[in-house]
C-alpha cells in the first residue's frame, strides 16, 4: 500500500490531508466544549444544529466544486480554501453567541464541501496507474479511520496543558500546514477553456453522475452505508450507556471497534481488488451492512450478558463492510469521467452521498428515541437491504468501459468521429464511454 507514497507530489498531498484531518479532529472536540460554554445543558441542541448545517453545506455547496474547478487554477483554489478555513477556526474562540457559531460552521463546512472533492479529483491525475490509485484510496480511508481513533486522544492530552480554545489554534495550524504543502506541490490545471459560466456548469457533474449506470448503483450503496453508519454514530452512546448500563469508556471502545474494522478492511482492500472486480466486492459488502444491522437487532432482543461482545463484533464488521463499499468508489468515479470533468463528478458524489447521511442521521435518532433501539436497527436494516437490492438493478453486471455506439448529428469531418465507420448515415465507433457534451445519454 505504501508504494503510492513513492510519488512525491502525492506524498505531499497525503501529508496535507493527514495534518488537516488531525486539525479537524481537534476542532470537533473543541466545538463540543465551546457549545457547552455557550449553552450549558442545551449544548446537544447546539451541536445537533451544527452537524445539520454541516450536511446542508455539503449537499448544497458541494456541486459548486466542479464549476469552480473549471474556472480557477486548481492549486490556487485549494490553497485559498485552506486559508479560508484557517480564518474561520481562528475566529471561533472569540464568539459569544450561538448564532455566530452556526454562521462560522456554515462557512467552514462550505469551504470543506468545495475543497474535498477538488482535492479527491486531483489524485487520479497524480497516480494514473490504477493499482497505485487503489492504494492511495486505501491510504485515504485509513487516514480517516486513524483520525477518528487518535484525534480524541490528542485532544485529551492537549487539554491537560491548554484550554479548549487553544484546540482551535491546533486546527488552524493544521489547515495552514495543508495550504503550505499544497502550494509547494506541482498540480495539473484542469480548467476547461473557454470556461463555461452558464448555470448548467454547476449541475454538470450531477447530470453526468445520474446518467451513468454504475454511478447510480453507487448512490444506492451510499444509502446502505449511511443507514448503517448513522445507526453506529448516532446511537452507540444510547446503546452502551442506557441499554447496557456501561460507562463512557465503553462508548469510546465501541466506536473504536467500528473504526478498527474500517481500518483493517482498508489495509486489505488493494489485494482484494487485485483478485476481484469492483462490482461484486461493493454489492456484497452493501448487502452485508443490512444483514449486520438485522443481526444487531436480533442480538439486542435475544442476548443478555453477551450483548456487549456482540456489539463490538458487529460494529467492527459494519466498519469493515462500509470501507469495502466506500473505498472503491473513487475507482468508479475515475472510470466514469474525463479528466476535465473529474472535479464535477467527484463533487456530485460528495453532495449526493452526504444527502443520504442527511436523511439517515435524523431518522436514526428519531427512531431510537421514539420507538426504541431494536426498532431503529430493524428499520435501518430494511433501508440498507433495500438499497443493496436496488444497486444491482441500477449497475448492470455487463459494465464494460469501452462501448460501441453511434453519433447521428456530428459532421463527417468532426475530430471525434475520425476513423469511425459510417453505417446507415451514422458514425459508429467504440471507446471508453463517459457522459459529456458529445455523449449526453447512456447507450441502450
Give the start-to-end residue ranges of the domains of the chain.
Answer: 1-197, 203-399, 400-444
Which residue is listed with cell 421514539?
Answer: 370
Q: What is the pLDDT of residue 1?
A: 54
Compute the average pLDDT of residues 30-53: 72
What is 203-399's CATH superfamily? Answer: MFS general substrate transporter like domains (1.20.1250.20)
What residue spans of 248-306 are helical by DSSP H?
248-275, 278-302
264, pLDDT greater than 70: yes
Calculate the CA dihedral of residues 363, 368, 372, 376 and round it to 10 degrees: 50
Contact residues for 107 (Cβ-Cβ < 8 A; gap 6+): 84, 88
Q: For position 194, what pLDDT does the model report?
A: 42
143 membership: H or E segment, kind and range: helix 130-159
- Residue 63 or 318, more confident: 318
CA 296, CA 315: separation in Å to the nearest integer? 9
73-86 average pLDDT score: 90
pLDDT above 90 covers what percent of the chain? 28
How far apart CA 206 and CA 307 sit, in angstroms, is: 43
Give mean pLDDT, residues 374-396.
96
**Grid coordinates belonging to 385:** 437491504
Is residue 283 packed enough to be buried (19+ CB in 10 Å), middle (13-18) or exposed (0-12)? buried
Query: How long, in residues, is the chain?
Result: 444
**Which pLDDT score is estimated for 202?**
63
Average pLDDT of span 360-370: 87
Report pLDDT for 169. 86
Summarised one tens digit per residue, pLDDT across range 137-147 is 888 878 877 77
- Report the C-alpha gap between 314 and 353 in whole angstroms: 23
The mean pLDDT value of the chain amounts to 85
Tell me what the mean pLDDT of segment 249-256 comes to: 81
In tens, the pLDDT along 25-38 reads: 777 777 767 777 77
Q: SS3 for 147?
A: helix
- What average pLDDT does range 100-123 have in this prediction? 86
- In whole angstroms, what is the distance from residue 105 CA to residue 97 CA? 13
- pLDDT of amino acid 213: 94
Q: Which residues contact 128 (CB under 8 A, 6 or more apart)?
A: none
Mean pLDDT in residue range 78-107: 89
DSSP state of 415: G
Reading the block at residue 312, the C-alpha cell is 463490538
Q: Predicted confidence band at 291 (pLDDT cuts at 50, 70, 90)? A: very high
What does the pLDDT read at residue 191?
54
Give the tens place of pLDDT for each residue, 155-196.
767 777 777 778 888 889 989 999 999 999 888 765 554 444
Looking at 90-104, 247-261, 268-282, 303-317, which range is the least confident one?
247-261
> Does residue 199 register a pLDDT over 50?
no
Contact indicator for 79, 102 with CB cutoff of 8 Å: no
Range 1-197 has CATH code 1.20.1250.20: yes
pTM: 0.84
Cβ atoms within 10 Å, residue 34:
24
pLDDT above 70 covers a percentage of the chain that reads 93
Mean pLDDT within 90-107: 87
Sign of CA dihedral 430, 431, 434, 438: negative
Q: What is the mean pLDDT of the segment spanning 394-421?
A: 88
Are the C-beta atoms of 54 and 351 separated by less than 8 Å? no
Closest to 68 in 3D by CA, of 58, 80, 56 = 80
CB atoms within 10 A of CB 184: 12
Intrachain domains 1-197 and 203-399 with the same fold: yes
Distance CA 438, CA 20 (A): 39
Average pLDDT over residues 67-82: 84
Amino acid at each position: 500500500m505504501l508504494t503510492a507514497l513513492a510519488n512525491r507530489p502525492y506524498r505531499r498531498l497525503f501529508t496535507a490531508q493527514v495534518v488537516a484531518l488531525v486539525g479537524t479532529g481537534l476542532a470537533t472536540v473543541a466545538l463540543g466544549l465551546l457549545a457547552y460554554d455557550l449553552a450549558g445543558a442545551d449544548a446537544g441542541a447546539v451541536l445537533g444544529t451544527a452537524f445539520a448545517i454541516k450536511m446542508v453545506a455539503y449537499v448544497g455547496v458541494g456541486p459548486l466544486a466542479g464549476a469552480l474547478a473549471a474556472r480557477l487554477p486548481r492549486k490556487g483554489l485549494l490553497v485559498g480554501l485552506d486559508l479560508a478555513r484557517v480564518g474561520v477556526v481562528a475566529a471561533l474562540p472569540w464568539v459569544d453567541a450561538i448564532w455566530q457559531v452556526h454562521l462560522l460552521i456554515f462557512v467552514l463546512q462550505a469551504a470543506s464541501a468545495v475543497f474535498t472533492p477538488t482535492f479527491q479529483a486531483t489524485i487520479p491525475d497524480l497516480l494514473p496507474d490504477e493499482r497505485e490509485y487503489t492504494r492511495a484510496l486505501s491510504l485515504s480511508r485509513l487516514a480517516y479511520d486513524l483520525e477518528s481513533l487518535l484525534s480524541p486522544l490528542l485532544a485529551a492530552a492537549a487539554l491537560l496543558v491548554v484550554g479548549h480554545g487553544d484546540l482551535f489554534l491546533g486546527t488552524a495550524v493544521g489547515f495552514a500546514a495543508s495550504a503550505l504543502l499544497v502550494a509547494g506541490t506541482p498540480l495539473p490545471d484542469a480548467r476547461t477553456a473557454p470556461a463555461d459560466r452558464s448555470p448548467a456548469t454547476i449541475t454538470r457533474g450531477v447530470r453526468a453522475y445520474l446518467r451513468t449506470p454504475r454511478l447510480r448503483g453507487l448512490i444506492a450503496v451510499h444509502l446502505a452505508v449511511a443507514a448503517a453508519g448513522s445507526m453506529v454514530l448516532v446511537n452507540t452512546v444510547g446503546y452502551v450507556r442506557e441499554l447496557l448500563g456501561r460507562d463512557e469508556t465503553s462508548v469510546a471502545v465501541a466506536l473504536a471497534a467500528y473504526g478498527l474494522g474500517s481500518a483493517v478492511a482498508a489495509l486489505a482492500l488493494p489485494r482484494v481488488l487485485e483478485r476481484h472486480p469492483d462490482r461484486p466486492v461493493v454489492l456484497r459488502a452493501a448487502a452485508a451492512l443490512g444483514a449486520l444491522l438485522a443481526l444487531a437487532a436480533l442480538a439486542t432482543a435475544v442476548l443478555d450478558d453477551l450483548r456487549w461482545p456482540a456489539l463490538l463484533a458487529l460494529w467492527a464488521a459494519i466498519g469493515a463492510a462500509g470501507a469495502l463499499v466506500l473505498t472503491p468508489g473513487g475507482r468508479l468515479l475515475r472510470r466514469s469521467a474525463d479528466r476535465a470533468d473529474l472535479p464535477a463528478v467527484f463533487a456530485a458524489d460528495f453532495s449526493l452521498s452526504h444527502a443520504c447521511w442527511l436523511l439517515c442521521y435524523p431518522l436514526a435518532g428519531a427512531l431510537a428515541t421514539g420507538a426504541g433501539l431494536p426498532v431503529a436497527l430493524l428499520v435501518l436494516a430494511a433501508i440498507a437491504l433495500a438499497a443493496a437490492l436496488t444497486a444491482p438493478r441500477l449497475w448492470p453486471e455487463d459494465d464494460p468501459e469501452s462501448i460501441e455506439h453511434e453519433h447521428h448529428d456530428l459532421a463527417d469531418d468532426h475530430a471525434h468521429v475520425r476513423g469511425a465507420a459510417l453505417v446507415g448515415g451514422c458514425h459508429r465507433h467504440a471507446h471508453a464511454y463517459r457522459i459529456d457534451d458529445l455523449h449526453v445519454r447512456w447507450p441502450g
